[in-house]
Amino acid sequence: MSEELDALASSMFNNVVPNAFSKVGPLSLKPLASWINDLNDRINFVSKWIKDGMPPAFWLSGFFFP
C-alpha cells in the first residue's frame, strides 16, 4: 500500500476529510461524514439549478467556504 493510500484510509477511519478530497472539494472544518452530506447538498443545489433554471433564492455558502 502506498503512503497516499494509507493516509486516505487512516483519514476515513478517523472520520477526517482526507487531503486528497480537500484538494478538489469544498473547504470545510467538518468531520468526513458531515463533509460528504454537505458536498451532496451542494451537488443537488447546482444540479437542480441546471435542470430547473435559476432558483428564487441562492444558498450563498454553497458557493464558497463560509
Is residue 35 within 8 A of residue 17, CB to CB? The reply is yes
pLDDT at 46 over 90: no
Q: pTM here?
A: 0.74
Q: State the average pLDDT for the chain.
A: 87
Q: How far apart are CA 66 and CA 59, in angstroms?
A: 11
Please state the rounded mean pLDDT for residues 9-16.
94
- Residues 6 or more apart whose Cβ sits within 8 Å of residue 4: 20
What pLDDT does residue 66 have? 52
What pLDDT does residue 9 have? 93
What pLDDT does residue 57 have? 82
What pLDDT does residue 65 have? 60
